Structure 1
Amino acid sequence: MIKSKRFDDITIHLYEEQYREALSQFQLNERQRIYSSLPKEVLDDALNDPNRVANVALNDDGDVVGFFVLHQHYQHEGYDTPEEVVYIRSLSINERYQGNGYGTKIMMNLPEYVQSVFPDFGHLFLVVDAENEAAWNVYERAGFMHAATKEEGPIGKERLYYLDLSSKYVSSLKLSSSKQSEQGPVDIIDLKVNQEKVGFLAIEQFQERLIIRALLVEDAHREVGIAQNALRQLSTYVRQNYENIDVIEVMLFGARNELKPLFQKSNFVETIVTDDYTMFEKYINY
């Protein structure tokens, strides 16, 4: 098992006793305490359970800026998830270091880190309170898919998120508006990996809906999961860049359209099915 991995200006490290004092000083504000336990409240339970692994995130100065637990074989009450599963639990950023993007950086790189710790596991899950929109926007940005909603969790309505721990996962994919969007009613969203454009989404707004007009990934990049990751991130992108949009829709023509499995795996739901076309929709506000 690896001990640490460095990503940009953070290092994710397996817990060691030298970090206990820093975790005892870890702070969260009153609202954040509703959603997450303090590290000191869950640390010893994690250390005494062979299925749990405690982890810290360090900045370039060696400060403990984040904490989380990876829990293998965990089954969250009310959800039927696979046996070979890893849950992310008790994820939090020390209040003193919030506002520096550490949470987003951790989530964007967490799949690669989890694969290093648990190379034989293929499923990554987490549960978040439905009211904690800032958190689930980060999760969707990192490629996690909203898989289910539970009306009555321990502290109210909650959302289950899932990510396939596949080697095809593209953690560096970014969605960004293209200058071509200024030229007409259809907005172009560039798909970029390491600043290189590898494809695009074309979308058009119609009242409270956004209609996907086209999705293209260049041939050289089609086998690495970019299209599915882009569709997973699209909900967050829309919420951040559009107002009063409730639904994303797409119409696929032909009974055996090859894109059907892609949209099904990306949490779109079939709403109209005919011999000639299938309508898929995804609600982005819950």
Structure 2
Amino acid sequence: MTKSKRFDDITIQSYDKQYRDALNNFELSERQRIYSSLPIEVLDEALEDENRVANVVLNTQDEVIGFFVLHKHYQHEGYDTPEEVVYVRSLSINERYQGHGYGTKMMMILPQYVQEVFPRFNHLYLVVDAENAAAWNLYERAGFMHAATKEEGPIGKERLYYLDLDAKYVSSLKLQYQEASISSTFDVVDLMLNGEKVGFIALEQFEHRLIIRSVYVDESYQSTGVAQNALRQLATYVRKNFEDIKVIEVTLFGPNHQLKPLFEKSNFVETMVTDDYRTFEKYINY
């Protein structure tokens, strides 16, 4: 049975033989070939393995604009991940269709699609070369968390990314700078969901640190995962919009602050604990 998921003007679906010619003509630049195999180079191996599912990404004209393989029970060399996992492998966008936002849309819908293909699996992983910053910035915007770094991959340093498929996530959430904050001591980042402001994060810069002073989400959206998704995207946002920032920091006062689980799930690391407060940090340059 063909699995399929549509988002905006793209559709992800499991591979069908009618798309083989399109995959034969799939194009990647010489630079991109360093990071990813051509689909046709991995297709048959995926089709012959019961643990793998080959998938295509289509536009509204039914043209193949992207490709990837989902591989359950896969263990990437050098990483200790659970057995019941799904890895995203050989992910790429056809060079002829790059620059139209298709990669972002594909990553935003990917978690829902994986849940349809492998409903019993809760852990989604992917590995990306560290120097491929465009790719891992995209993964972070889609809610993936940087879980580990391996110093010596096939072509150098590489990064492991993880997404908890049991967690709530909001695929269309965007972080947007609030122009009104220019005259303020704080930088305010609005949380925009489908064009509507649903919350904000207030930030204060101190030397090479960016301090989170407030995280607010409208009451009607507090149970939808907006805050967690925003904090997962924050490192990418900061890299693009703030110079020389190395660490994002937040201090929570009181021994049982209600936001403690939120920052833990958003890949912040607890660096200081006292009777009165605890501090969490996230390094944005690895």
Specify the TM-score bucket, using the shorter chain as the normaliser.
Answer: over 0.9
Greater shift, 101-110 or 268-277, is seen at 268-277
* 2:135 corresponds to 1:135: yes
What is the identity, as a one-letter code, of the residue corresponding to 2:103? G
The match for 1:97 is 97
Determine helix, strand or coil for the equivalent of 2:116: helix
Q: How many residues align?
A: 286
- What is the 5 A alignment of 1:36-47? 36-47=36-47
The match for 1:228 is 228
Q: 1:201, 1:167 → 2: CA distance?
A: 21
Note the residue ranges of structure 2 that are not aligned, 5 or more in a row.
none
Contact 2:268 2:282 in 1 (8 A): yes
Contact 2:211 2:249 in 1 (8 A): yes
The percent of aligned pairs where both chains have the same amino acid is 73
Q: 1:116, 1:270 → 2: CA distance?
A: 35
Determine helix, strand or coil for the equivalent of 2:224: coil
* 2:130 corresponds to 1:146: no
Contact 1:272 1:279 in 2 (8 A): yes
- What is the 5 A alignment of 1:196-235? 196-235=196-235
What is the identity, as a one-letter code, of the residue corresponding to 1:111? P
Q: 1:274, 1:201 → 2: CA distance?
A: 25
What is the identity, as a one-letter code, of the residue corresponding to 2:91? L
* 2:280 corresponds to 1:258: no
Give deviations 1:187-245, integer Å, cap 9, x for gaps: 11111222222211000111211110000112221222111111100001111111111
Q: 1:168, 1:139 → 2: CA distance?
A: 16
Contact 1:2 1:117 in 2 (8 A): no
Q: 2:79, 2:139 → 1: CA distance?
A: 19
The match for 1:112 is 112
- What is the 5 A alignment of 1:180-199? 180-199=180-199
Q: 1:223, 1:169 → 2: CA distance?
A: 10
TM-score by length of 2: 0.96
Contact 1:199 1:218 in 2 (8 A): yes
Contact 2:192 2:198 in 1 (8 A): yes
Q: 2:235, 2:252 → 1: CA distance?
A: 19
Q: 2:179, 2:129 → 1: CA distance?
A: 36
Alpha-carbon RMSD across the aligned residues, in angstroms, is 1.3
TM-score by length of 1: 0.96
- 1:89 CA displacement: 0.4
Give deviations 1:19-49, integer Å, cap 9, x for gaps: 1111011111111111101101100010000
Q: 2:84, 2:197 → 1: CA distance?
A: 35
- 1:78 CA displacement: 1.7
Q: 2:168, 2:135 → 1: CA distance?
A: 24
What is the identity, as a one-letter code, of the residue corresponding to 2:213? R
Closer, same or farther: CA 245–57 of 1 in aligned 2, 3 Å: same
Note the residue ranges of structure 1 that are not aligned, 5 or more in a row.
none
- What is the 5 A alignment of 1:66-105? 66-105=66-105
The match for 1:283 is 283
- 1:83 CA displacement: 2.1
Query: Where do 4+ consecutive residues of structure 1 move more than 4 Å?
Result: none
- 1:182 CA displacement: 2.3
Q: 1:156, 1:186 → 2: CA distance?
A: 39
What is the identity, as a one-letter code, of the residue corresponding to 2:27? Q
Q: 1:124, 1:12 → 2: CA distance?
A: 17
The match for 1:274 is 274
Q: 1:283, 1:181 → 2: CA distance?
A: 24
- 1:167 CA displacement: 6.3
The match for 1:124 is 124
* 2:207 corresponds to 1:172: no
Give deviations 1:56-106, integer Å, cap 9, x for gaps: 111122211100001111111122222221111000011111111111110
Contact 1:13 1:55 in 2 (8 A): yes
- 1:115 CA displacement: 1.3
- 1:2 CA displacement: 4.6
